[in-house]
């Protein structure tokens, strides 16, 4: 999913009021979540925030809306979209997911053909064991709970997965726009739709998902040390991952 640019960077006026994000002449002191019959709208000094396409920015629960408003309240000299992962995700949901939930789910389902968890190292034995320890429980859960029996392979040569397994996993994906958007984000960040689905269903928690997604990278760190540039990129991805995980927890009681 290509996320739209959520906000423009605007300097605040010397008076100390903070910008609303679309024009240098618009400033705000307080972000709020205002309940409506259908959702919770995000407002700046009582005025509705709009997405890049001009739609009202709103969230399905008070918890999510308050968190988005908190991102706006946390802005200082400039509005920094990178520090507002929930706002960026909300913009994506409202502008790019609400009207195409099935298409987003289909995009996630493509990962069931080549999921990270299917392709295993052949050596060294310690890495093989580490992958098995973190990945096998999710693969077994998919088989036992979803009826999705996937084929594992050694190396990177593509293995076609059974249509029945892909269909079973696809049918377990959520059909509400916020949950499927969060699942999509987690899938693309981890390379695994199975990990995202397991998190959604409460089979594993978000720390286990993150560790499973980085087992090979962490192995290399253990052998060769930390690459600072890689670490910075990983930290930025973790921010978006945790935002998406928080959406799943808010909307799906099983997620943890």
34 has a pLDDT exceeding 90: yes
Q: Per the structure, how many domains does the chain have?
A: 2
Counting beta carbons within 10 angstroms of the beta carbon of residue 59, is it exposed (0 to 12), middle (13 to 18) or buried (19 or more)?
A: buried
Decide if 8 is inside a domain. no
What CATH number should be reported for the domain holding residue 219? Answer: 1.10.3580.10
Residue 118, SS3?
Answer: helix
Residue 122, SS3?
Answer: coil
Of 57, 83, 109, the one marking the end of a domain is: 83
Peptide bond into 204 cis (omega under 30): no
Do residue 121 and residue 237 come from a single domain?
Answer: yes
Decide if 36 is inside a domain. yes
Decide if 1 is inside a domain. no
Decide if 89 is inside a domain. no
Q: Among 51-65, 72-86, 182-196, 226-240, whose mean pLDDT is lowest? A: 72-86
80 has a pLDDT exceeding 90: no
Q: Among 74-83, 99-108, 182-191, whose mean pLDDT is lowest? A: 74-83
Model confidence pLDDT, tens digit, residues 121-160: 999 999 999 999 999 999 999 999 999 999 999 998 999 9
19 has a pLDDT exceeding 70: no
| Distances in whole angstroms, Cα of residue 229 to Cα of each of 80, 192, 212 | 21, 23, 21
Decide if 13 is inside a domain. no
Could you report how far apart the first and last alpha carbons of the chain are, in Å? 24
Confidence bin at 1 (pLDDT 50/70/90): very low
Rounded-to-integer distance, Cα 215 and Cα 223, Å: 12
Model confidence pLDDT, tens digit, residues 182-228: 999 999 999 999 999 999 999 999 999 999 999 999 999 999 999 89
| pTM: predicted TM-score of the whole model, two decimal places | 0.88
Do residue 148 and residue 61 come from a single domain?
Answer: no
Cα angle at 61 between 55 and 65, to 5 degrees?
Answer: 60
Do residue 126 and residue 220 come from a single domain?
Answer: yes
Q: What is the DSSP string of 91-105?
A: HHIIIIITT-HHHHH
The predicted model gives 10-16 an average pLDDT of 30
H or E element at residue 44: strand 40-44
**Structural domain boundaries enclosing 223:** 101-251
Residue 4: its pLDDT value, please?
Answer: 35
Confidence bin at 27 (pLDDT 50/70/90): low
**Percent of the chain's residues with pLDDT above 90:** 81
Rounded-to-integer distance, Cα 38 and Cα 43, Å: 15
Residue 178: its pLDDT value, please?
Answer: 98
H or E element at residue 33: strand 31-35
Do residue 119 and residue 230 come from a single domain?
Answer: yes
Do residue 132 and residue 192 come from a single domain?
Answer: yes
> For the chain, what is the mean pLDDT?
89
Which residue reads 């502008």 in tokens? 95
């Amino acid at each position: 999913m290509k996320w739209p640019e959520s906000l423009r960077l605007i300097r605040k006026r010397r008076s100390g009021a903070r910008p609303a994000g679309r024009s240098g002449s618009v400033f705000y002191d307080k972000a709020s979540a205002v309940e409506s019959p259908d959702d919770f709208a995000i407002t700046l000094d009582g005025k509705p925030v709009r997405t890049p396409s001009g739609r009202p920015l709103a969230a399905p629960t008070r918890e999510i809306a308050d968190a988005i408003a908190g991102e706006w309240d946390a802005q200082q000299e400039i509005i920094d979209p990178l520090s507002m992962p929930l706002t960026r995700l909300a913009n994506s949901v409202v502008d790019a997911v609400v009207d195409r939930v099935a298409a987003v789910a289909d995009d996630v389902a493509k990962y069931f053909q080549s999921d990270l968890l299917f392709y295993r190292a052949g050596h060294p034995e310690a890495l093989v064991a580490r992958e098995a320890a973190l990945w096998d429980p999710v693969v077994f859960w998919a088989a036992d709970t979803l009826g999705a029996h996937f084929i594992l392979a050694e190396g990177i040569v593509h293995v076609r997965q059974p249509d029945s397994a892909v269909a079973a996993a696809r049918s377990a994906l959520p059909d509400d726009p916020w949950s499927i958007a969060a699942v999509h984000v987690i899938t693309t960040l981890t390379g695994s739709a199975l990990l995202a689905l397991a998190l959604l269903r409460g089979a594993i928690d978000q720390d286990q998902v993150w560790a499973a997604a980085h087992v090979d990278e962490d192995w290399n760190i253990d052998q060769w040390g930390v690459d600072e540039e890689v670490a910075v990129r990983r930290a930025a991805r973790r921010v978006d991952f945790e935002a998406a995980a928080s959406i799943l927890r808010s909307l799906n009681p099983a997620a943890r």
